[in-house]
Copies of this chain bind each other. A is one copy, B any other.
Amino acid sequence: MNGGQQQAYDRGTNIFSPDGRLYQVEYAREAVRRGSVSVGVRTRDGVVLAARKHVRSPLLEADGIEKLHKIDDHLGVVSAGHVADARRLVDFGRRRAQTDRLRYGEPIGVEPFTKAVTDHVQEFTQQGGARPFGAALLVGGVEPTTADEDPKPRLFETDPSGTPHEWRATAIGANDDTVREYLEANYDPQSSVQSGIELALSALADAEDGPLAPEEISVATVAPTYRALDADARRDTLDSLDLLDEQAS
A residues in contact (CB < 8 Å) with B = 3, 5-24, 27-34, 57-61, 63-66, 82-85, 87-88, 91, 115, 118-119, 121-122, 124-134, 156, 161-170, 180, 183-184, 187
Contacts and interface: CB of A to CB of B under 8 A. Distances in A.
A19, A65, A83, A133 — most chain B CB neighbours (10 Å): A83
Nearest to A23: B18
B20 A30 contact: yes
B18 A15 contact: no
Given A21-B31, A22-B82, A128-B128, 16 more contacts: A3-B5, A8-B11, A13-B14, A14-B131, A16-B31, A20-B30, A20-B31, A59-B170, A59-B183, A60-B170, A61-B165, A61-B168, A66-B164, A83-B161, A91-B119, A127-B130
A118 to B, nearest CB: 6
A87 B119 contact: yes
Nearest to A35: B20
20 contacts: A10-B18, A13-B14, A14-B129, A15-B24, A15-B131, A16-B28, A16-B30, A18-B27, A20-B32, A57-B180, A59-B180, A59-B183, A59-B187, A60-B167, A64-B156, A82-B161, A84-B121, A84-B125, A87-B115, A88-B122
Contacts of A168: 59-61
Say what secondary structure dominates the interface of chain A.
Answer: mixed
Contacts of A9: 11
